[in-house]
Amino acid sequence: MSANFHSNELSEKILSQAFPFHLVIDQSGEILSCGQSLARKLKFGEADAIHIFDHFTVQHPSGIHEVSQLVKVKNKLFLLSSKFHDDLVLRGQLVVSENDTHFVFLVSPWITNVHLLDKLGFTLNDFPVHSPMSDFLILVQAQRVSLNDSMRLSDELTILNKESEDRVVRRTQALEQKAQELQESKTVLEREMKERERVEVELRHAQKLESVGQLAAGIAHEINTPMQYIGSSLEFLKESFIDLKELNVMITSYLSQDSLKQDYKSIKLLNLVNEVDLDYLCARGPKALTRSLDGIARVTEIVGAMNEFTHPDKKEMKQADINRALGTVLTVASNEYKYVATIETDFHELPLIECHLGDLNQVFLNLIVNAAHAISENNVENGVIKISTHICEDRVVVSIADNGTGIPKHIQHRIFDPFFTTKEVGRGTGQGLSISHHIIAEKHSGRLSFESVTGEGTTFSVALPITQISKQDILIKPDDGRDIAA
Amino acid sequence: MYGLVNKAVEQLVKVNFGDDKWQEIAKKAGVDQTFIMMKPYPDQVTFDLVAAASEVLDTPSKDILEAFGEHWIQFTVDEGYGKTMSLYGNSVLEFLQNMDSLHAQIRLSFPELRPPKISCEQNPNGQLVVCYQSERAGLAPMLVGLVRGLGKRFSTPVELEYLVSAEADSTSEKFLVTFSQRQVA
C-alpha cells in the first residue's frame, strides 16, 4: 500500500462514483456534497444551501434531531427517510471526520424489491459495481420465482385434487347408476321370470284343462247316449204304466163278479194281484219314473253344461253371451256352493261381446268358487252369492258379490300376485286370481277390480269391452285418453 | 439443467402447439412430473425432451434448439429477470460481451449452473464474431436462437452464419452475426 495515500486525498468525484447516494454535511447541518444518483433524484443544485433536517428525518437511531447529536452515533447503522419522496429511505453508515467537522453518510437506497427501484426512478446502473444491490435483487427475484413456482405448483395440486375429487364423485355416480341399472335389470329379470313362471303354470293349467275338457267331452258323449235310451225307456215305461193301470182296473173289475168268486183260477189271480199290490204299483210307478226322468234331465243338463264349459277355445275371439256363460258356470260349479250359499242372479240384457269364452268361463268359475270358499270360511248360515250383469258405457260389467270373510286390507295389494294365497295347502294354488287378472286385463283389455270389507264380504267386478280394440289402434292412438287397459 | 430451462421448453411447445402435443412429447420423453424452476435436473431430461419434440413435431433438433434459444430470452424476461438483464447491456454486442458476467452473477441463485463461455468481438465491418464453448455437446443452435432473441429484444434484426460447420456433437462453435441495420456498440 502506498504510504503517501491519505483519506483526504479521496476526491469528491471518486467519492461520488464509489458512493453515488452519499451525503456530506458540515457542523451546521448544511449539505456540502451529494452523490450523483441521489442529486439527480433530489434535484439538488450546486448553489443551493440545503439543510439535512429540512429534507431528511433520521429514522434510526431514534431521537436524532440535531447535528450535535450525530457525534454520539457515528459508525452506527443509519436510516434516513426523505420528507419529499415517499418510499425513499437511505440506509448506511455515518462516518465523522477528524475534529468532528464533517459528517459523511455512506448510504444507498433501501430497496426491498425490484418494483421499488422502478417507483423511485432508479436503475441498477445507478448503483456502483461493488454494490451488493444487483446480487440482492437477483436473490430477491430467485425467491420470487421460487414463490411463484410454489404457488403454481400449489394451484396445480389444488386443481388436480379437485379433478381427483370430481373424478371420484363422477365415478361414484357412475357406479351408483350402474348399480341402480343392475338393480332395475334384476327387478325386470325377476318380473320376467315370474311372468314366465306364471305363463308356464297357466300353460300347464290350460293343457290340463284342455285334456280334462276333451275327456269331459268324451265322457259327456258316452253318458249322453245311454241317458237318451234310459230316458226313452223310462218314458216307455211311464206310458206303459197307463196301460197297466187300465189293465189293473179291468182285472179288478172282472174278478169282482159274483160268478167268479168261487172260481179257483180267478181266486188265484186275485190273490196274485193283491200280492204284487198292483194298485200301489200303478199309483207309485209313474211318479217314480217321473222322478227318474227328472234326474236324467238334470244329468243331461249338467253334462251339456260341462260340454259347453270345457269346449276348447279358438285363437280368435268369438262373440259370446255372458249371461249364458254365467249360467253354464253356475251349473258346473254348483257342487262348490250349493251347500254353503244360495245364488241370487240379476242378469240384465247384454249384447254379445268379443271374447275368449273358455278363458272367461275360467275367470267366472274362479270368482264363484272363491266366493263359496270365503262364505264357507266365514261360517255364515245364510251365505249368498249375488251375481249381476249390466252395461256401463261401452263395457259389460259382471259383479260377483259374497258375504264371506272379506280380504284383509294388508294383503289386498297382493291378491293378484302369482302364487299368493291364504288358502290351506291343497285348496288353492295362488294362481286363480293371478290368471284371472291376466285373462281380463291382458287378453281382453278389461278390468278386474274388487271392493272388500273384512268380515262382511267381497265384490269382484269384471268389466269387459263389448268390442275389442286392435293393438294397431292402440298404437295409433296412444293418447286418446280412453281407459282401455286394467 | 435447472427446471427453469425445462419449463421454458414446456411453455414453448404449449404456446405454439398446444397442451396435447406437450403431453405427447412429455410421455415420449418419459417425463411424468411438473418441473420445479429452481431445482436442478439431469441434462438428459432436457435432451430427451428436445429429441421427443423433434420426433413428435417432425422438426430437426437443431431447429427446436434454435426456437428454444429465441424463446428463452422472452421467457426469462417474463419470469422477472428483465431488470437483471438490462444491467448487462442495452445492445446485442454489449449483452453478448457481458453474458459471462451475467452468468457469474446468476450463479448466486443457481449454484449448480454450468453455463457456456461466450466471447464476442466486433469486426471492422460492424459484424460480430461470437465464440461459444460449452461442456455440453450439441447445444450450439440454442445460442443462434438466443442471439436472434436478443436482436428482437433490442429491436435489431440479426442474421447468423456458422463460421465453423456445425456438428451435432460439437461443444464449441463460432458464428458471424450481421445486423440488418448497423449496430452501434
Q: Read off the pLDDT of residues A306-354 as tens digits, 9 standing for 90 and up.
A: 777 766 566 788 899 999 999 988 988 888 888 899 999 999 999 999 9
Between B64 and A195, the more confident residue is B64
Q: Which of A117, A138, A149 sits opposite B37 (nearest CB)?
A: A149
Contact indicator for A137, B85 with CB cutoff of 8 Å: no
CB contact under 8 A, B37 and A134: no
Phi, psi (5° rounding) for residue B130?
-105, 125
What the block records as the C-alpha cell of A303 is: 253334462
Domain that holds residue A62: 7-128
Superfamily of domain B65-179: H-NOX domain (3.90.1520.10)
Taking contacts as CB-CB distances below 8 angstroms, the residues of chain A near B85 are none
Q: What pLDDT, on the 0 to 100 scale, is given for residue A388?
A: 96
Q: What is the pLDDT of residue A355?
A: 92
Nearest to A141 among B34, B36, B80 (CB): B80
Which of A125, A137, A149 faces B38 most closely, judged by CB atoms? Answer: A149
Q: Would an 8 Å CB–CB cutoff place B79 in contact with chain A?
A: yes
pLDDT at A137 over 90: no
Percent of chain B whose predicted confidence (pLDDT) is above 70 = 95
CA–CA min distance A87, chain B (Å): 20
Which position has the higher pLDDT, A195 or A287? A287
Residue A481: predicted pLDDT? 38
Q: Please write down the long-range contacts of B114-118, taking CB distance under 8 Å and 24 or more positions apart.
A: B116/B143, B118/B143
Total CB pairs under 8 A between chain A and B: 49
pLDDT digits (tens, 9 = 90+) for B48-86: 999 999 999 999 999 999 999 999 999 998 888 887 788
At A220, list the grid cell.
259327456
Tally of structural domains, chain A: 2
Chain B hits for A137, Cβ within 8 Å? 83-84
Mean pLDDT of A395-422: 85
Task: Show Cβ contacts of residue A75 under 8 Å, excluding neighbours closer than 6 positions.
Answer: A93, A94, A95, A96
User: Does a structural domain hold residue A450?
Assistant: yes
Which percentage of chain B shows pLDDT scores above 90? 51
Whether residue A248 lies inside any domain: the answer is no
Q: Is pLDDT at B128 greater than 70 in this prediction?
A: yes
ipTM score of the complex?
0.73
Say whether residue B38 is in contact with chain A using an 8 A CB cutoff. yes
Q: Is the pTM of this model over 0.80?
A: no
User: Which range is most confident: A3-17, A53-67, A106-120, A276-290?
Assistant: A53-67
**CATH number of domain containing A332:** 3.30.565.10
The answer to whether the CB atoms of B86 and A124 lie below 8 A apart is: yes
**Which of A96, A128, A160 is the endpoint of a domain?**
A128
Domain endpoint, select from A74, A108, A128: A128
SS3 at position B119: strand
Domain assignment of residue A115, yes or no: yes
Chain A contact present for B87, CB below 8 A: yes
DSSP H helical segments within A379-470, as ranges? 409-412, 432-437, 444
Left (φ > 0), alpha (ψ -120 to 50) or beta: where does A10 sit?
Answer: beta
Whether residue A483 has pLDDT greater than 70:
no
Q: A71, A104, A128: which is the final residue of a domain?
A: A128
Tell me: pLDDT of A285 over 50: yes
What's residue A424's pLDDT? 59
CB contact under 8 A, A124 and B106: no
